[in-house]
Structure 1
Amino acid sequence: MQPPNPKPATSGIILLGLVQILSWGGSFYIMAVLAAPVIRETGWSQQWVYGALSLGILISGLLAPLSGRIIASTGGRGMLAASGVVMALGLVMVGNAHQLWLFLCAWLIIGVGMAMGLYDALFATLGTLYGGFARGAITGITLISGFCTSLVWPGIAFLIEWLGWRHACFAYAGMLVVTVWPMYYFAIPHRLPPGYQPVSRTQGNSAIAPLLFWLLCSIFTLASVIMTAISVQLITLLQASGYSLAAALAVSAILGPCQVASRIVDMAFKRGHPIWTTFFSVGLVAVGLLTLTLFPHLAVFSMLLYGAGNGLRAIVRGTLPLAMVKSEEYAIVVGRMARPALIGQAATPLIGGYVYQTMGSQATLWLLCALALINVALVVILKGMLPRPAESV
């Protein structure tokens, strides 16, 4: 049976997009602005400071299946609402950290909050509550949250300049406490759909054929690894290709608008099966990276392609599994799929840094191209395995 309101309200989608900006900004993206002042004041090594973020992502990945099971049992509203408080607690600990071990512990807490409240948890909740009708909401949310770095990075930088990095953490924590809980409670229904039957862990594990499951895991993991590597190393790779720092920053600034634009375009094709969105996502990423590797003087064009493909990635991770499993099984399946992708993200900065240091920028780019081409091949295999009715949706 469908819920009383089978589609999320527009006001709810807007609020969920805004709360994702706040949540991503206070966890995954805050380190980009916070790391430098932390290192300057404390003297901790860059590896340890950035390693704290990797630790948080790792914890998030390890807890993702548990989050999925909680959402499948409860609907997810309470857990999403509480995520802001957990992230806030972690940020307060960061602001009070005068020893490295406490800083690392703080990021363990933030990692718990990430498992509770970022895309995977939210998409699993929407899929559980709305089934196939969640696709439009997922696209709308990713469209709004695509402005995250454009809004959050300057905002946090201003807070650090005004208050210092420790009090900036306290201020952001207060904002999370005040906003996240009420926004989720307003935007998400407090009841599961009528007739909804919670799925046991065993049932969820059998919701999708093992080969399909691992194909999806591999596709999402490779996409996440490539995204993380580019996010961490793009400026360095562009400089190694002959660009000045100012030019490299200008080229990288293209990514955000391209990601948002691709999500707008996807909204016009929401009736098609998400396997086609997946094709466009992995294909554009592969062509963009190959262009950057072979023709570095076309970096602007390559980032237009890559940014468009990466923008579709966030949509695909929510909508493709939704087209392949029942809504009541969706949360458990998504939770299990999130684990390898997040663990891959956590390991990417370390592995990518090692490859760059030992083999150079060109080898790093070719490795990313190889991963992108493998992902295209995996999507081709996945499409061939989908049942015909799913292909004609």
Structure 2
Amino acid sequence: MRLIRDPAILALMGMQVTVWAGLFYSFPALVLHWQAEFGWSTAEIMGAFTISIAVYALGAPLFGRLIDRGVAPFSMPLGAVIGAGLLATLSFVDTLSAFYLIWAAIGATMGLTLYEACFAIVTRARGADARQAITAITLVGGFASTLAYPLTHWLAGIGGWRTAICVMAALVILLAAPLARLAARNLEAEARALPQSQSPDTAQSAPRPFVLRLPGYWAVAGGFALAALTSGIVLSHLLPIMAAQGVSDDMAILAAAAIGPAQVAGRMAMMAAGNRMSALRIAQIAMATLAFGALMMAAAGWVAALVLAFGVLQGAGYGVVGIMRPVVTRDILGQRDFGAVSGAVSLPSLFLFALAPFLGAVLFDLAGYAPVLLLCMAAPVAGAALLQTLHRT
């Protein structure tokens, strides 16, 4: 209940749902419109999303270090403003090269505004209490897809995809940017007001090992990266996969919209588990849920209604994995230099997430969506197995 009265956390809730809807989900929500208008292939279009997320991944450690140095009150609202401007610029695009350039630039603004930056400033200010705040933020952030898919579908039906993208840009600049400024200023003030012994900037007597050499780094980073591969493929190819499975447009939009509430439901179930289950075990269960969701999508070729089960399972698994990565990172690798460490842990996840749209498109062009869905089942199972090695650490 305390978090409901916390201005910084409330602001981050509103900011995250808006920037995720605008900067991220607007791409998969409008991909079919771009294919229809420009005639670009699936691989050509998804290559832009891959580059966007690759830029996001490359910037994550740098942006994390900047937040460690106290620049979040400037960088987070700036990212929202620039991202909104780039979204609006998409409405003038008529060449594939311009499309790629704009999405590459949007990738940098994702690094300044999405969950990695948000989690870094919250952990910097709240330390061991960050898990509760992160969970509250992502409970609301989970509704981003529920906002993006129906809203863009409706707007595109009224005035075309250009109208839809401009409205999403307006939401980001009018809502997300001022909320980011408010939240980051308050949380950075909290971090600077911490007692010297608790301050994240306090010098340590022992030198910090290079991040890649920290015990457990590769198991944490690799496990979550494999889960990210499935989420990246599914979220970017969501509507094309369902179309290939013979699912109607209305059923597809309903299943896509179900992902957001399912994220919230999954996170609430995680909160109910409380301290009775370790963060590692919760992460493994969430990864298994992702794999089962991909199985339901594959079965939708025979029973179309199973896409609703897919939407629930994908949303629940994706939502919980998103929370567990910073929590497991802090539990295994510590809080010191958390922004930089978290950025380094997220780097493999974001790279595979970036590769996922293009990889899925190539596999689809070669053999249809059957091998794509098989990969989506296998990858999170392998990720859960990799995290299992940490139980012995």
Q: Per the shorter chain, which TM-score range? A: 0.7 to 0.9
Q: Does 1:224 align with 2:228?
A: yes
| Alignment equivalent of 1:117, drawn from 104, 113, 119 | 113
Q: Which runs of 5+ in 1 are unaligned?
A: 1-5, 386-393
AA partner of residue 279 (structure 1): Q
* Conserved 8 A contact 2:28-2:238: no
Q: Does 1:311 align with 2:311?
A: no
* Residues 163-204 of structure 1 deviation map (CA, whole Å, 9 limit, x = unaligned): 54445444433432232232123223242333235389x966
Q: Secondary structure at the match of 2:63?
A: helix
Q: Does 1:255 align with 2:259?
A: yes
- Aligned mates of 1:17, 1:114 — CA distance in 2: 16
| Alignment equivalent of 2:12, drawn from 3, 16, 21 | 16
AA partner of residue 324 (structure 2): V
What is the aligned partner in structure 1 of residue 59 from structure 2? 63
Moved more, 228-237 or 314-323: 228-237
AA partner of residue 88 (structure 2): V
Aligned positions, number: 379
Q: Does 1:282 align with 2:290?
A: no
* Conserved 8 A contact 1:252-1:303: yes
C-alpha RMSD of the superposition? 3.1
Moved more, 205-214 or 21-30: 205-214
What is the aligned partner in structure 2 of residue 336 from structure 1? 344
- Aligned mates of 1:204, 1:159 — CA distance in 2: 51
Structure-2 change in CA distance of 1:66 and 1:384 (3 Å): same
What is the aligned partner in structure 2 of residue 150 from structure 1? 146
| Alignment equivalent of 2:383, drawn from 361, 375, 378 | 375
- Aligned mates of 2:294, 2:333 — CA distance in 1: 32
Structure-2 change in CA distance of 1:97 and 1:255 (3 Å): closer
| Alignment equivalent of 2:201, drawn from 198, 202, 213 | 198
Moved more, 289-298 or 181-190: 289-298
* Residues 19-46 of structure 1 deviation map (CA, whole Å, 9 limit, x = unaligned): 1111112211112333344445445554
Q: Does 1:90 align with 2:113?
A: no
Moved more, 274-283 or 89-98: 89-98
* Residues 263-306 of structure 1 deviation map (CA, whole Å, 9 limit, x = unaligned): 11222234353223212212322344456658965935565444
Identity between Structure 1 and Structure 2 (%): 26
- Aligned mates of 1:134, 1:285 — CA distance in 2: 25
- Aligned mates of 1:377, 1:14 — CA distance in 2: 36
Q: CA deviation at 1:8?
A: 8.9
Q: CA deviation at 1:60?
A: 0.6
- Aligned mates of 2:161, 2:297 — CA distance in 1: 36
TM-score, normalization by structure 2: 0.84
Structure-2 change in CA distance of 1:293 and 1:184 (3 Å): closer
| Alignment equivalent of 1:175, drawn from 171, 176, 184 | 171
Q: Does 1:265 align with 2:265?
A: no
| Alignment equivalent of 1:352, drawn from 360, 369, 372 | 360
- Aligned mates of 2:179, 2:39 — CA distance in 1: 38
- Aligned mates of 2:171, 2:256 — CA distance in 1: 29
* Residues 98-135 of structure 1 deviation map (CA, whole Å, 9 limit, x = unaligned): 44333222112211100111011111111111111111
Q: CA deviation at 1:330?
A: 1.1
Moved more, 228-237 or 89-98: 228-237
| Alignment equivalent of 1:184, drawn from 180, 184, 187 | 180
Q: CA deviation at 1:249?
A: 5.2
* Residues 345-377 of structure 1 deviation map (CA, whole Å, 9 limit, x = unaligned): 111122222223334444333332222221121
Q: CA deviation at 1:72?
A: 1.0
- Aligned mates of 1:235, 1:112 — CA distance in 2: 25
Q: Secondary structure at the match of 1:74?
A: coil
Matches within 5 A, 1:381-392: 381-385=389-393
AA partner of residue 321 (structure 1): T
* Residues 222-267 of structure 1 deviation map (CA, whole Å, 9 limit, x = unaligned): 1111112222445555666675565555555543332221111222
TM-score, normalization by structure 1: 0.84
